[in-house]
């Protein structure tokens, strides 16, 4: 996606290059540059989203990592938390730790819970640890010492000594620099994840910078902002949700521009669907998550993912029920309708057989034509008694939409938010085909389809501001009756130090004067978990009031006379985004699908004739009545009878579900 000085947006999609993803990025820039009105203008800045770190962990394609850890907690990754991933599954297994036991080096040193050195780190011990790590010949090193967030001196000494011994080509991650927060298991797991993907991400980002020079490069982080390339290379664990986060940022801005600041983001691609709650134009955020069963603590948008995509396979389980996903046909061989040897039915095949996708439509710039007959044959292989009276295509779509509806309820109803007051922002290659049906299921009244659904995540990269969050565990008591001055001075100093660090990181990106917000993780004494609360100042009374408000909002009551604790303080600095608002001038390329009206099958089995329109030919304020299909190179939107769509001033297709309300 390219944005020119006059505000025109040019969007194109190119095939990925798995052997070197930086090649695909360069090819995409060439594609938009050649199609842009100002093709001779140089590219000044590139904002990039990546799944390189995510895929490396999912595939365990990471560097050989050595973990240096305090001897008393040498098994911290193996022991994890004493909870059960599936309460009633007697055969449940936990994922293997990312670092093998043979690559864990125990250090004889020990800090107390307040940072006092109980067992000092001697020079002899440093030398022994360096020799043991060097013998492992690691690609990367993670250092996470017990209570290192209180005093990082031991971690820093080991890191400096190991750097001298191993040389500059072996990245070293210290938990005290990456995540100076309590909870040793999550902190150590995050540190190990970061170290493990550092070699992979370092090589990738180096190639990317070389291909894109002299343009500057920023990278999307999981928290919904962009950060400088060198900062991301040091902390690649912060990019685990890079791609989905960009889409959610764009969805929030698009929803707000369309007059629906409270919304649900629905991103459906080839293998999965990502959903997220958006309130007041901003996606919900969280401070922790898991990937492949491994916990990490980094700022992240609160995305919920289910295995429901266009390539998800339909199958029959042991009980004879029709299921869809999470297994996918992938790109090779892909759905049966791709004609690449696939024979198992997928969600895309259901759409092709139902007429939602045009038979013979160009799916690959002339190299791939959709085969509706092959899709029908694959679906006919499903047993008749599970396909449903409406037919196999309708049955598959009903099942996959049930999975997606559960995901949407998880981020709305289960969070105490009534979905009837939310719009659905549908994007991704397959999202607009399902959005109206899901809106009816949840009671949502409006669906918003962006101008280019297939590249909405790319738009999010330009709408996301530079964003850096810093944190530090303080464990300061906030009793109901106490002299607040001592606590206030310590809290204020910590807040200001964190803010200065975050501001400096944002200022380095030339993104304007940063805006800074303060957050505090607070809890009542005796509680095991905290509530994250925005605060205006460092006064203990302010923090207590914030905790009371948040606790009452979340649980329905507060404890105004109870002692409280400030556990972790945070500062979030944000700069100026490349785009101030979603653009209203798009150059999307000509539609490829035929425009003749055609019969389609609805989810209830009815066959109706749908008007087929090219998205690029729809004018502002034009109204479209269902049943209709709106086609474009990157997505197709389905309107059923009674649904009315209108193109707003930003190019969004805003659909009133079930008719005008």
Q: What pTM was estimated for this model as a whole?
A: 0.86
Does residue 84 sit in the same domain as residue 134?
yes
Same structural domain for residues 424 and 476?
Answer: no
Q: Distance between CA atoms of 566 and 449, rounded to whole angstroms?
A: 42
Q: Is pLDDT above 60 for 327?
A: yes
Q: Is residue 3 part of a domain?
A: no
The conformation of residue 536, written as its DSSP 8-state character, comes to S
454 with 478, same domain: the answer is no
- Residue 80 confidence (pLDDT): 87
Where is average pLDDT lowest: 85-89, 344-348, 560-564? 85-89
- Supply the pLDDT for residue 481: 64
**Please, are residues 349 and 601 in contact by the beta-carbon 8 Å criterion?**
no
The number of helices, as runs of H, and strands, as runs of E, in the chain is 17, 35
Domain that holds residue 560: 468-574
In a domain, 526, yes or no: yes
What is the predicted pLDDT for the residue at 659? 45
Phi-psi map region of 445: left, alpha, beta (phi>0 left; psi -120 to 50 alpha): alpha
Task: Using the predicted structure, report yes or no on whether residue 37 has a pLDDT greater than 60.
Answer: no
472 shares a domain with 460 = no
Residues 551 and 606 in one domain: no
* Strand 140-144 relative to strand 172-174, pairing: parallel
Q: What is the mean pLDDT of residues 306-333?
A: 88
Least confident segment among 502-506, 631-635, 645-649: 631-635
Same domain, 350 and 426: yes
Total residue length of the chain: 661
d(CA 276, CA 617): 31
Q: How confident is the model at residue 365 (pLDDT cuts 50, 70, 90)?
A: low
One domain for residues 447 and 495: no
Q: Is residue 71 exposed (0-12), middle (13-18) or buried (19+ Cβ within 10 Å)? A: middle
- Going by pLDDT thresholds of 50, 70 and 90, the confidence category of residue 38 is very low
Q: Per mean pLDDT, which of 155-164, 202-211, 486-495 is the most reliable?
A: 155-164
d(CA 602, CA 202): 49
DSSP-derived 3-state class of residue 405: helix
| Claim to verify: residue 260 and residue 120 sit in the same structural domain | no
In the predicted model, is pLDDT for residue 283 greater than 60? yes
CA distance 451 to 457: 12
Same-domain check for residues 439 and 557: no
DSSP-derived pairing of the beta strands 304-306 and 273-279: antiparallel
Residue 212, in any domain of the structure: no
Residue 358 belongs to some domain of the structure: yes
Are 251 and 156 found together in one domain? no
The set of residues, in sequence order, having a beta carbon less than 8 Å from that of 645 and lying 6+ positions away, is: 449, 623, 624, 625, 626, 628, 630, 637, 639, 653, 654, 655, 656
Number of structural domains the chain divides into: 4
Q: Does residue 211 fall inside a structural domain?
A: no
- Who wins on pLDDT, 583 or 266? 266
- Where does the pLDDT of residue 332 fall: very low under 50, low under 70, confident under 90, or very high at 90 and above? confident
Q: Verify that 388 and 528 share a domain, yes or no.
A: no
> Looking at the domain assignment, is residue 218 inside a domain?
no
């Amino acid at each position: 996606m390219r944005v020119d000085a006059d505000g025109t947006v040019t969007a194109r999609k190119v095939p990925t290059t798995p052997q070197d993803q930086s090649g695909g990025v360069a090819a995409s820039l060439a594609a938009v540059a050649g199609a842009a009105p100002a093709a001779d203008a140089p590219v000044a800045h590139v904002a990039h989203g990546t799944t390189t770190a995510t895929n490396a962990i999912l595939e365990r394609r990471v560097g050989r990592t050595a973990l240096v850890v305090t001897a008393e907690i040498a098994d911290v990754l193996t022991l994890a938390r004493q909870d059960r991933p599936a309460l009633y599954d007697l055969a449940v297994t936990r994922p293997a730790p990312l670092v093998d036991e043979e690559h864990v080096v125990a250090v004889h040193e020990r800090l107390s819970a307040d940072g006092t050195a109980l067992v000092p780190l001697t020079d002899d011990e440093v030398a022994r640890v360096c020799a043991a790590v060097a013998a492992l010949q690691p690609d990367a090193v993670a250092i996470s010492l017990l209570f290192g967030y209180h005093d990082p001196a031991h971690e820093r000494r080991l890191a400096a000594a190991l750097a001298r011994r191993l040389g500059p080509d072996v990245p070293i991650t210290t938990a005290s620099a990456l995540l100076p927060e309590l909870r040793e298991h999550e902190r150590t797991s995050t540190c190990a994840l970061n170290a493990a993907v550092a070699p992979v991400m370092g090589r990738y980002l180096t190639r990317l910078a070389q291909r894109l020079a002299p343009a500057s490069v920023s990278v999307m982080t999981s928290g919904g902002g962009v950060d400088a390339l060198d900062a991301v290379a040091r902390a690649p664990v912060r990019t685990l949700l890079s791609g989905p986060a960009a889409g959610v940022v764009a969805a929030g801005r698009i929803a707000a521009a369309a007059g629906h600041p409270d919304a649900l983001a629905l991103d459906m691609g080839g293998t999965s669907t990502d959903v997220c709650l958006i309130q007041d134009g901003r996606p919900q955020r969280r401070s922790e998550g898991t990937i492949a069963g491994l916990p990490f603590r980094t700022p992240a948008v609160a995305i919920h993912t289910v295995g429901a995509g266009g390539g998800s396979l339909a199958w029959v389980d042991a009980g004879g029920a029709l299921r869809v996903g999470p297994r996918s046909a992938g790109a090779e061989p892909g759905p049966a309708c791709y004609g690449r040897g696939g024979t198992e039915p997928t969600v895309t095949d259901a759409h092709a057989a139902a007429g939602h996708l045009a038979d013979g439509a160009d799916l690959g710039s002339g190299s791939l034509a959709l085969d509706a007959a092959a899709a029908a044959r694959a679906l006919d292989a499903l047993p008749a008694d599970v396909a449903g009276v409406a037919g196999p295509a309708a049955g598959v779509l009903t099942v996959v939409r049930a999975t997606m509806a559960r995901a949407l309820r998880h981020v709305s109803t289960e969070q105490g938010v009534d979905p009837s007051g939310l719009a659905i922002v549908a994007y991704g290659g397959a999202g607009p085909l399902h959005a109206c049906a899901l809106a009816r299921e949840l009671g949502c009244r409006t669906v918003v389809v962006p101008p280019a659904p297939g590249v909405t995540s790319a738009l999010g990269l330009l709408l996301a501001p530079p964003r850096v969050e810093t944190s530090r565990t303080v464990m300061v008591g906030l009793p109901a009756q106490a002299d607040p001055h001592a606590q206030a001075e310590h809290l204020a100093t910590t807040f200001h130090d964190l803010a200065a660090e975050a501001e400096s990181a944002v200022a380095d990106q030339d993104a304007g004067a940063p805006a800074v917000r303060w957050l505090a993780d607070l809890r009542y004494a005796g509680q095991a978990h905290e509530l994250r609360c925005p605060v205006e100042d460092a006064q203990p009374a302010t923090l207590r009031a914030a905790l009371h408000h948040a606790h009452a909002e979340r649980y329905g009551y507060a404890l105004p006379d109870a002692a409280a604790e400030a556990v972790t303080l945070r500062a979030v600095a944000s700069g100026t985004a490349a785009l101030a608002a979603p653009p209203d001038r798009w150059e999307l390329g000509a539609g490829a699908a035929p425009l003749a009206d055609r019969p389609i099958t609805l989810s209830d089995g009815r066959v109706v004739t749908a008007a087929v329109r090219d998205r690029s030919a729809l004018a502002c304020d034009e109204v479209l009545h269902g049943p209709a299909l709106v086609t474009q190179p990157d997505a197709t939107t389905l309107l059923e009878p009674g649904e009315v769509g209108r193109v707003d001033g930003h190019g969004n297709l805003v659909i009133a579900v079930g008719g005008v309300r």
